[in-house]
Structure 1
């Protein structure tokens, strides 16, 4: 009987606890998750409390990631009423950079999605300048494929265009397209991304998809020209086939692991992007070596190089402008992958320009 009585008391206590938890629950969100403010200025957002059933007042404090970048007024609020509330919060920008402002409530249980990413810039004109630079290098990179297509068409020959470069390029752009399309269009993968980075933004934008798919299509068209125009004895080398075979085996194993739930499909997309980065590092080497062996750049479009050089220089310039405007130099020196790849491509472009205009400028090499 004592055991039954104790069990009943436990059930009653559990029921009361569940009721308390239920009554203490509310939703805390904000009117917007992103604010962009000029330094020494301010912006506002609303703190939204929905479905509050807690009868006793409770405070909400604001936690600031970088107190040298932003200030929040008021720094805390007290929720005194049940139901819905909306409180205006002011964010003051005191230093350039990026900072998060998150609400921290002391209620027993609450659903919280209350954070604001604040970006503080120094000069508004630089923001516009950066956007213009971005569109210019996007256009330059997008049309950089066409000079090579045109020169192939004019010569009715692809002699001088290295097939290893084409093979590496098409694999790289296809993988880049897979990464962008998967992360942008597949809800399950996007959900996984936000589970890992709940306060992040999807890194893939529409222009990334357009560029990747267009680059893959233009490369496929160029490869198609190789089947119709004169190509002499050119073919994909055993070295390039071996490298692509290693990449293919790596991705095949990754697909199996993703299909058997050992890794997530998001991980597979990241692996695709890593292979793309590796290809970007090595894809120009075969063409540069071929030019050296032939002592000629005939058949290799210098227009492609100038456009690629323009895109790479402007891409790095945009990163430098943004780093200054947002006081965010860590994006270059703390994570140098993107900047390093742009610099690497520009170095190769300069080398190709030297080959074309200095080393082999008098070469009239042309296979008939």
Structure 2
């Protein structure tokens, strides 16, 4: 009996030790001591550090190899590490402007899980002063776009009339900014969607920033104020056109089906947010057309704020300038020519703004439509 008791006691201790060792080993990851991002100037030499757990020596004598995505952008020294306890310093030399990832492979496949979080995104730039310059440009166009709604609100209030303001443009705007807000809020605040994004882009950073949320919510509120003005001020026979209603009906049907599919888990909620963003991009492409056509029919821009256009033009032009500055500084022209969506939308908006300016100051500058 005493021998059985002793064996049972030893077996219990063995089981507890095995469980303890299992969970401690599950925490034996090799990690960076700093952030997963490193910014360097061209030809600069810096370093990052790797922290190896004290339990690693009990598991394996495995080596890890650091893999550089673009060897023409950065060079590492050393690139092969023996797994030993403590801090390991890695020197980084910036060879060329651009973005490059560093990740790790273990010589023992069973050890790969311990280096899954060992990655670094290195950005190499050409000129120091272009970084704050780009930031300043970004804030200027953010402010310009944010306040671009108020000249129209003011002119509506001053005239006590919305005659000349196209209702299709307004309704497309509120739908577009609402969808943009849904995309930003979902990706920024909902953990389930954030986890899905991380699964798809393991080394990617959340693309939504606080200023994106502020702009989207503010734009939707300002557009809503304009819609309220359309109900309380003189509007003659203006209304939302059948064409705009049809387009919005198609968008609504598409998004309704998408949200049902997301609800029954046929698609992910992240996919639904992407669909919202695609609809928003489409709206941005077409929303200026009704107002331009209305000005042409009336041979007048009375009731349509030119201040809104100048601010929108400023925001769009500076947005493209920032993209060009960043593309030069980081030698990342692919961001413009390889994926032209953002740049193309900015250019499209600027072209329409120029067209509106021509209508206002050249084609219809002598118009007295309001008096008629």
Q: Conserved in 1, the CA contact under 8 Å of 2:134 and 2:322?
A: yes
Unaligned runs of 5+ in 1: 1-14
User: Residue 97 of structure 2 corresponds to which residue in structure 1?
Assistant: 96
Match of 2:88 in 1: 87
Shift of 1:255: 0.5
State how 1:208-287 maps to structure 2 within 5 Å.
Answer: 208-287=212-291
Structure 1 residue 54 displacement after superposition? 3.1
Partners of 1:56 and 1:196 in 2: CA distance:
30
What TM-score does the superposition give when structure 2 sets the normalisation length?
0.91
Alignment of 1:188-227 (within 5 A): 188-227=192-231
Q: 2:165–2:303: 8 Å Cα contact kept in structure 1?
A: yes
Equivalent residue number for residue 349 of structure 1: 353
Deviations 1:174-220 (A, max 9, x none): 00000000000001101100010010000100000000000000000
Return the offset for 1:360: 0.2
Post-superposition shift, 1:58?
Answer: 2.1
SS at match of 2:265: coil
Shift, 1:90, TM fit: 1.3
Counterpart of 1:39 in structure 2 is 42
Question: By how many angstroms is 1:111 displaced?
Answer: 2.2
Structure 1 residue matching 2:30: 3-state secondary structure: strand
What residue is the counterpart of 1:30 in the other structure?
32
In structure 1, distance between residues paired with 2:91 and 2:360: 58
The answer to whether 1:139 aligns with 2:143 is: yes
Matches within 5 A, 1:313-332: 313-332=317-336
For residue 52 of structure 2, what is the aligned residue in structure 1?
49
Classify the secondary structure of the residue corresponding to 2:206.
Answer: coil
CA, structure 1 residues 41+233, in 2 after alignment: closer, same or farther (shift >3 Å)?
same
**2-structure distance, mates of 1:214, 1:38:** 36
Is the 2:56–2:83 Cα contact (8 Å) retained in structure 1?
no
Number of equivalenced pairs: 348
8 Å CA contact 1:41–1:92 kept in 2: the answer is yes
Match of 1:5 in 2: none
Gaps of 5+ in 2: 1-14
Equivalent pair of 1:24/1:54 in contact (CA under 8 Å)? no
Q: Given the two structures, how large is their TM-score scaled by the length of structure 1? A: 0.92
For each residue in 1:142-184, what CA deviation from the matched residue of structure 2 results, as whole angstroms up to 9, or x when unmatched?
0000000000000000000000000100000000000000000
